[in-house]
Structure 1
Amino acid sequence: MTLTVGLAGITGKFGTLLATSLLRNPSISLRGYARDPSKLSATLSSSPNLHLTRGEAFDASTLAPFVTGCDVVICSYLGDDKLMTDGQKLLIDACEAAGVPRYIASDWTLDYTKLAPGEIASKDPMKVVKAYLETKEKVKGVHIFIGGFMDTLLSPFFQMWDPATQTFRYWGEGDEVWEATSYKNAAEFTAAVAADEKAVGIQKFIGDRATIKQIAASIGRATGTEPKLERLGSLEELKTLMIETRDKNPANIYAYLPYFYKYYMTNGQTLFGPETDNAKYPDVKAESWEDFVRRSRQ
């Protein structure tokens, strides 16, 4: 039996990984939706199981035929609040009108249901979309929680790991647990969820669940080095810094967003483990921090 999967935002970084994982399943017929499908690699675009549609996120006339006949639609949009709320609402409305049974929202994050509005501003659209899906009669929402993305947490944007000096910087005591999953692993779990017609509601997956100091040790084992640990201050000091930075220039979200993520990940508020849905899909191997760093260095 062939399963028809729609993937909106297929040319983005995560969308491309999703498409790669989905096309490994010979039972899946994939439809990709993008503003410029030519950005997709030749390897993917030449797949006989992929059909590409050119269209804008806010063009209902192209969204409707794209979703019609799909068994599940995945949204991998990444952008401003208008795209993440109004853009997804248009896509959800198209799914509802076409009778698409499931919609996998653009989440892939920590447990935002435990956050009050404004605590992490970039999660507010996800809360809005989840509530919007709950008003629909035909299309059921699917929300995939993966903790933080390992790729992002070790990137320069997050200001935690400095590969030049082999320094791991953190707030708190260092024994706080973080939940994290790599982009690649999250895509693999999502592909498994898409193929599972019974998977609805919140789905929880973790590549690794480890303390801050354990993460640093994993990096050390993977790189053959001994990272230096640098404590930047207490969680209360981090909270003060993040609020001061935001209030100084609210429009510059990228200046304070990493602080908010670090605070709400470190204080345990957004944790959803240790119970996960990993075991539902035994063919997908959880990628640990050490696995991820080793693969990234290849």
Structure 2
Amino acid sequence: MALGSSRSPSTNLIFADKLASFWADAEEECLPVEGTAFDQDAIATFVQGCDVVVCCYLGDDKLMVDGQKLLIDACESANVPRYVASDWALDYTKLKLGDLFPKDPMIHIKNYLDTKTKVAGGHILIGGFMGPIFSPSFNIVDVQTNTFRYWGDGNEIMEGTTYDDAAKYTAKVVLDSEAKGVLKFVGGRATIQEIAKSYEKVYGTPVTLENRGSLEDLDKTMHDKRTTSPQDVYSYMSLFFHYYWVSGQTFAVDWEGFMRSWSQEQIGTSYFALNM
């Protein structure tokens, strides 16, 4: 049986209708438990008897850090062996606190889970979600004018996954009791130019590619905006995501990167350094 915990959906009628439909389809296989992220009694009831808890919180730092810590502590008290953190992001383990500030809570939660001995953390990393690329908030693709805007030279790789595939990967993780730690999945890897060609192929519409500047220009622009108007977070947050999405810093190590991590004298022994 699966348990699902949520706050009351009554203030969001669209969500309420979808949730009601889901529970109706699930019949006896799912049991809803209503509560809030800081309702410790409800949380304790919810986690009882679970083999794994998957957190899908999305909100401010208090929810993402303090709220998750309460849930993790409840899992520990109830002997729940695994906790899948609310991640579904690019590889923030390669970033420092403050680099991509919206992902700072994920770094804090991973560090917190690493201190636990009774509950193992699971961190599902999927690159970026594909949908936001086409949304006005990211200002990358304008579907009204069929314009693709980019920073850099247009050959930077973007790793992306759909919401549906991320959910399927998560379901596989839930069903595998040995799936723990950092778990990396990706639906596709392509440059903005390749994505634009796919757009033309799928929709039969020619596109315009618009260069906004170099990656160095993007880095300067996003930090200048944040310094000038820190309270206007939505004016620069997508720029930070864009930068770390294409900078390559969060990708797996490539051949050249691997060689740079070893001296020429030592690289011949790298095969034996699996645990280093």
211-220 vs 36-45, which deviates more? 36-45
How far residue 211 of structure 1 moved from its aligned partner, in angstroms, is: 1.3
Cα separation, 1, equivalents of 2:231 and 2:33: 34
Q: Which residue of 2 aligns with 1:41?
A: 19
CA drift of 1:154 comes to 1.6
Asked whether 1:124 is paired with 2:110, we answer: no
In the alignment, structure 2 segments of 5+ residues that lack a partner are: 11-15, 255-276
Identical aligned residues as a percent: 51
Q: Alpha-carbon deviation of 1:72?
A: 0.4
- TM-score scaled by length of structure 2: 0.87
The runs of 5 or more residues in structure 1 that have no matched partner are 1-28, 275-298
| Larger helix share, 1 or 2 | 2
Residue 89 (structure 2) aligns with: 109
Contact persistence 1:37–1:53 (CA under 8 A): no
Residues 251-271 of structure 1: per-residue CA shift (max 9 Å, x gap): 222111111111112111111
SS at match of 1:41: helix
Contact 2:85 2:122 in 1 (8 A): yes
Alignment root-mean-square deviation, CA: 1.2
> Aligned AA for 1:94?
A
Matched, 1:267 2:247: yes
CA contact (8 A) 1:37 1:52 kept: no
Question: Helix, strand or coil for the counterpart of 1:231?
Answer: strand
For 2:215, the equivalent position in structure 1 comes to: 235
8 Å contact kept, 1:30–1:50: yes
> Judging changes above 3 Å, is the alpha-carbon distance between structure 1 residues 180 and 239 closer, same or farther for their aligned structure 2 residues?
same
Name the CA distance, whole Å, in 2 between partners of 1:35 and 1:267. Answer: 37
Give aligned pairs, total. 246
Asked if 2 retains the 8 angstrom alpha-carbon contact of 1:176 and 1:212, the reply is yes
Q: Find the counterpart in structure 1 of residue 148 from structure 2.
A: 168
Shift of residue 43 of structure 1? Answer: 2.4
Q: Is the 8 A contact 2:134 2:143 kept in 1?
A: no
CA distance in structure 2 between the partners assigned to 1:83 and 1:171 by the alignment = 33
d(CA) in 1 for partners of 2:109 and 2:2?
24
The separation in 1 between residues aligned to 2:132 and 2:55, in whole angstroms, is 20
How far 1:77 moved relative to its partner? Answer: 0.3
- Residue 216 of structure 2 aligns to a residue whose secondary structure is helix
Greater Rg over alpha carbons, structure: 2
| Superposed counterparts of 1:249-268, under 5 Å | 249-268=229-248
Q: Which has the higher contact order (CA 8 A, sep 6+)?
A: 1
SS for the counterpart of 2:236 is: helix
8 Å Cα contact 1:178/1:271 also seen in 2: no
